[in-house]
Amino acid sequence: MIRTRGLRKTFGTLDAVQGLDLHVKEGSATALVGANGAGKSTTIRVIMNLLQPDSGSVEVLGKDSRRLTPADLRRIGYVAESQRLPAALKLGEFLSYLASLYPDWDQGLASSLLEKLQLDTEQKLGRLSHGMRIKASLVGALSHRPDLLVLDEPLTGLDPHIRDQLLESLLGHAEGTTMLISSHELYELEGAVTDIAFIERGRLKFQQSLEEMGGRFRDVVIVLDGDPPKPMPDLPATWIAPKLVGRTLAFTAADFTNEDELRRRVATHVSGVQSVELSPMSLRAVAKSLMQEAVEGARP
């Protein structure tokens, strides 16, 4: 449904997107995840043809994104955190306008979403809170039953109750829809996505299914004999966010295959090991380690 090859976008001296190869397969719900400033929104705006790439290519629905027809665009829903709505219109007027543009508009679905999300069609869009505006945009994006739904930071700044309402609506009413969702909070999307693409400083670090990612990461805590080593032991690059506190060395192994292999590698790279404890990681813990590594790696 979406494929980028060697995608690049710069703003002056800033390389916002650097050679990005991203693949969103049909039927998946892919999270594009990274710290603030990683290049997520720029990537999505290029995919949506709101920005032109400096080089590389973007295919959406199997076509060059710059050559999508009006019929193709009717198959796509788009919601962005920064999206502006016509402030003078009432919500009901806005949805009626959208319904006139989409032959597949499902008024029953729109009514169901309005009730579930507790939206008043008589309310003017300009008077809606941020969370209500995102809800209204989501109703507009889902009600024409798109084949592809692109959401750019839709959960930013929302309180947990509204966030849960939005995720519940996505899960309940977007069945069969391919989704690309950007977020800097990976844990927010747990249970709503099937695949993860992690972007760091404009580069794709990895992309894989949620199940594969869960098996790949382990929390490792090593207790050392004697005095702590100085400086920090030279660890593999895939052992991220290392911390040495007293005689305890902790890190996230981002290349876990099996316990015996990891213990052998610990013995090779770390001397004076008293004990090694390995633990599976929650999605939130994985996200925290990835973000921490991205931030620390960016420091001079």
Q: From 160, 183, 213, give the residue that closes a domain.
A: 213
Q: Is residue 285 part of a domain?
A: no
Q: What local confidence, expressed as pLDDT, does residue 11 receive? A: 95
Residue 294 domain-assigned? no
Q: Last residue of some domain: 213, 228, 263?
A: 213
Residue 111, in any domain of the structure: yes
pLDDT reported for residue 299: 41
Q: Does 250 lie in the same domain as 174? A: no
Sort strands 203-209 and 195-200 into parallel, antiparallel or unpaired.
Answer: antiparallel
* Structure-block tokens of residue 3: 């494929």
Nearest CA-CA partner of 47 in 197, 210, 205? 197
Q: Tell me whether residue 298 is in a domain.
A: no
* Residue 118, pLDDT score: 92
Note the pLDDT of residue 300: 41
- Same-domain check for residues 41 and 122: yes
Please tell me whether residues 178 and 105 are part of one structural domain. Answer: yes
Do 92 and 48 have their domain in common?
yes
184: Cβ contacts below 8 Å, ≥ 6 apart? 33, 34, 35, 36, 38, 40, 153, 156, 291
Asked if residue 90 and residue 12 are part of one domain, the reply reads: yes
Q: How far is CA 239 from the centre of its chain?
A: 22
- Taking Cα atoms as reference points, which of 217, 221, 234 lies closest to residue 290? 217
- Per-residue pLDDT at 184: 76
Tokens in use for 254?
A: 């981002």
Q: What is the residue-level pLDDT of the chain in tens, covering all 300 positions?
A: 999 999 999 999 999 999 999 999 999 999 998 888 899 999 999 999 999 999 999 999 999 999 999 999 999 999 998 889 999 999 999 999 999 999 999 999 999 999 999 999 999 999 999 899 999 999 999 999 999 999 998 887 778 888 888 888 887 777 789 999 998 776 667 778 889 899 988 999 889 888 888 788 999 999 998 777 777 788 998 999 899 988 999 999 999 999 999 999 999 999 889 999 999 988 778 877 887 777 665 544
Smallest CA-to-CA distance from 158 within 150, 144, 168, 149 is with 168
Rg (alpha carbons) of the chain, rounded to whole number: 22
Instruction: Write down which residue in 198, 213, 228 finishes a domain.
Output: 213
Same domain, 175 and 54: yes
Does residue 286 form part of some domain? no
Identify whether residues 124 and 148 lie together within a single domain.
Answer: yes
Structural domain including 252 reads 218-280
Residue 288 dihedral angles phi and psi, to the nearest 5°: -60, -45
Q: What is the CATH number of the domain that holds 113?
A: 3.40.50.300
Task: Give the H/E segment covering residue 59.
Answer: strand 55-60
Does 152 map to a domain? yes
Residue 239 lies in a domain: yes
What's the CA angle centered on 27, arms 254 and 38, to 5 degrees?
A: 45
Residues 205, 256 within the same domain? no
Task: Tell whether 208 and 222 lie within a shared domain.
Answer: no
Same domain, 138 and 241: no
- H or E element at residue 251: strand 248-253
The length of the chain in residues reads: 300
Structural domains counted in the chain: 2
Same domain, yes or no, for 98 and 168?
Answer: yes
Give this prediction's pTM: 0.85
